[in-house]
Amino acid sequence: MTIRPYIHIARPEYWTNHVFMLPGVLLAFYFAPDRLNVGAIGCLVLTLAAACLVASSNYVLNEILDAAKDRFHPEKRHRPVASGHVLLPIAYLEWILLAVGGIAMGVSVSLHLGWCLAAFWISGLVYNTPPVRLKDTPYLDVLSESVNNPIRLCLGWYGAGAAAMPPLSILLAYWMFGAFLMAMKRYAEFRHIRASGVAAAYRKSFGYYTEERLQECIFFYGALFGMLSGFYMARYHVELVLATPLVALAMAYYIHLGFKPNSAVQHPERLYQERKLMALVGLAFVACVILLYARIPIFRRAIHPRILPPGEVAVGAVEFPVAISRPSCHEFET
C-alpha cells in the first residue's frame, strides 16, 4: 500500500480555492484596522491551515461517494477511488481525522471560527451524502456548492479577529458570485460530457439541464451578484463602484473561457494557467483594494441624490448620510 492515493483524494491542489477567504480578511481589517498586528497574522495562518484540512475532508468524502459515477467520466474514472487504488475503510478514517483536526484547530483560534468550519464541513455532507445529496438536484447543486463562498469569506473575517457577523449584503453577493462561477463550470462540464451519451449517468442533474437552462442560471446569478454588491457599495463605501467595470470584464472573460471546447473552467484549480484571466482578476482585485481605502469627495458629490422621494429629507449637501461612513464591527452584532 502506498500513501500517494490518499494524498491525492485530499486534493491539496484545490487549496488554492481558499483565496476566496481574502475578501473576508480585508473587510475585517477595513472595519477594525486596529486588529492588524502580528498576532492576527498568526491566527490567519492557523485559519488557513484549518480550512485546508476541512476542505480536504470534504474532498475525500466526495471521492468516496462519487466513485461509481466517476467511472462514467472520461477523465475522472482515473481517480484513485474510482480506479480501485484506495481502501475505503482507510479513506473514511482519513475523512474523519481531517475534519476533527481542522475544526479543533479553528476552535483554538476562536469559537466563531470553529462553528464556521463546522458549517463548512456540514455543507460537504449535505452536498455529497444520500438521501439529501444536493449535488444531484438541479439548481440546488449549484447553490449548495457555492455556499462555500460566503463560508470562506466568514473564515477570513473571523480568522482576522472579528467577532460580529459580516454585512448580510456582502455575504449574499459573495454567494451569488460563487453561484455564477459554479453555473459556468456546470455549463462547461455539460458540454464536454454530453457528447459521450452518459452525462446523466455521471451527474444526475445533467439529465435535467440543457445548455439554455444553464445559460439562464449563469446570467441570473451574475445579475444578482451585481445588484447585491451594489447594495453593499451604496451602504458602506461608494468608491468601490469605480471598480465595477474591471470586475465585469473579468467575469465576461470567464464566460468566454467557459464557451471554449474542453474548457479550463471545468477545473478551477488550473485556472491560474489562464494568464489573461489572472491578469484581469488581479487588476480588478487591486482596484477594489485601493478603492476600499480611498475616499473621493468629488465622486461622492457627483452621485449625491438631488431629487428625493416624497417624505425624504436631504442630509447634507456634499456628504452622504453617516450610515455609509466606515462603521464599527459592532454594528453587525444585532
Give per-residue pLDDT as tens, 195-224: 666 777 777 888 899 999 999 999 999 999
Q: What is the pTM of this model?
A: 0.88
- Cell 478514517 locates to 93
Residue 101 in contact with residue 51, Cβ under 8 Å?
no
Instruction: Report which secondary-structure segment, H or E, holds 286.
Output: helix 275-292
Q: Give pLDDT tens digits for 162-191.
A: 988 999 999 999 999 999 999 999 999 999
Cα→Cα distances 42→17, 19, 25, 48, 212, Å: 20, 17, 13, 10, 47
Q: Judging by beta carbons within 10 Å of its beta carbon (0-12, 13-18, 19+), is residue 333 exposed, middle or buried? A: exposed
197 Cβ contact partners less than 8 Å away, ≥ 6 residues apart? none
Q: What is the mean pLDDT of residues 121-145?
A: 94
For the chain, the domains span 4-305+315-333
For the chain, give the percent of residues with pLDDT over 90.
Answer: 70
